[in-house]
Structure 1
Amino acid sequence: MKNKKIWLSLATLLLVFILAACGGNDETSNENADTDSGAQENIDMNEEESDTKEGMDHSGMQHSGSGEVPEGLAEAENPTYPVGSKVIMHADHMPGMNGAEATVSGAFNTTVYSVTYTPTTGGEPVKNHKWVIHEEIENAGSQPYKPGDEVVLTADHMEGMKGATATIDTAKQTTVYMVDFTDTKTGEKITNHKWVTEDELSPVE
């Protein structure tokens, strides 16, 4: 009888241990499931952030140009960086530009503007776009515009730019350059990119 009670007690204890072990495994499984779920959420968030950044890129930017310049634009007589010069760009108008080595393909004296405009194709206003030159403004006279002036753009650097009404943000008289360079992000060769100002360039050492 005593042996039977002892075996019954042992069986009961063994059953308790087995159930406890199973419960622990369930908790571990739940923790693993929670971890997997959290990891998936992080992946989803990263994908969303990536999509957002892609949405903010300059995909509408006309990186390469024909080399044609607006009528009346004067070539610089003694530019700091003559045509053919190798330079380093310190501008981030678009990804893959800052720090890239470039070759000067044109140098011109003019007034250069940063502008805010709403694309003719719709969408949010483009703020502080760099750069538009005086000769790329409709019916531009001989006098430069001032910050706050409202103008109509004839430049087509980006989709929806040509014909758009813009507000002048900044204005300065300087030498502007057309450049050829290789996009540091994509490896794409860009030719006759318009425009880079003199203070955004430095010589290749």
Structure 2
Amino acid sequence: MQNAKTKMPIVLALLAALILVLGACSNSENKDKEHKAENDHSEMDMDHSGSGEVPEGLTAAENPTYEVGSQVIINSGHMESMKGAKATIVGAYDTTAYSISYTPTTGGEKIENHKWIIQEEIKDAGEKTYEPGAEVKINSSHMKGMNGAVANIETAEKTTVYMVDFTPTSGGEKVKNHKWVTEGELSAAE
């Protein structure tokens, strides 16, 4: 009996260590899946280049920090190979920019914290600025399954938004008329 009692703490310690190791592997695997999902969202679903058309009612900014034609650096990563890219400003507009969460009309997993749609891309928005938590209908197609989807507002920011042309940092084809990058996500190119 003495032998079984002395072995019990060792067996329990080994079992606890095994549980910790398995838990760590599981967390790492989940993080890999989350990272892959973010990249799939940013790369595969986003329409990289746009037509250059702007929503009805959107007017050009009178005194933007970055004038049309200026060279800038993108300091955000809405999609892979965007952060750090050199860009040219193609349009500057004063509006409210929203980050949103929504389930695509084409099905699939909910898209969390998509940046950005603007006031003029919300169906029947008018002048009213929406608060976080508000439910709105999207009238834009930056991504497949976005147009007509119901979204929850995550953040709202009155700012100047920019349409930009840029070459991804990983190389490849130039992205034209990308909508939208906010003023706070840009810095002047040197």
- What TM bracket, shorter-length normalisation? 0.7 to 0.9
Aligned to 1:53: 36
Structure 2 runs not aligned, ≥5 long:
1-31
Choose which of 73, 76, 92 in structure 2 pairs with 1:91.
76
Structure 1 runs not aligned, ≥5 long:
1-48
Q: CA deviation at 1:54?
A: 7.4
Aligned to 2:121: 136
Aligned to 2:97: 112
| Length-normalised TM-score, structure 1 | 0.73
Decide which structure has the larger Cα Rg and report it.
Answer: 1
| Length-normalised TM-score, structure 2 | 0.79
After superposition, residues 1-205 of structure 1 pair within 5 angstroms as 53=36, 56-57=39-40, 58=42, 59-205=44-190
SS of corresponding position for 1:75: coil
Q: 1:147-198 deviations in whole A, cap 9, x for unaligned?
A: 0000000110000000000000000100000000001124220000000000
Q: Count the aligned residue pairs.
A: 157
Task: Kindly indicate whether the alpha-carbon contact (under 8 Å) linking 2:96 and 2:118 is maintained by their aligned counterparts in 1.
Answer: yes
Residue identity opposite 1:147 in structure 2: P
* Aligned counterparts of 1:111 and 1:142: Cα–Cα separation in 2: 10
Q: 1:93-147 deviations in whole A, cap 9, x for unaligned?
A: 0001000000000000000000000000001100000000000000112111110
Q: CA deviation at 1:55?
A: 7.9
Aligned to 2:11: none
RMSD (Å) for aligned C-alpha atoms: 1.7
Percent of aligned pairs sharing the same letter: 61
Task: Kindly indicate whether the alpha-carbon contact (under 8 Å) linking 2:72 and 2:89 is maintained by their aligned counterparts in 1.
Answer: yes
Q: Tell me which stretches of 4 or more aligned residues in structure 1 moved more than 3 Å.
A: none
* Aligned counterparts of 1:100 and 1:161: Cα–Cα separation in 2: 25
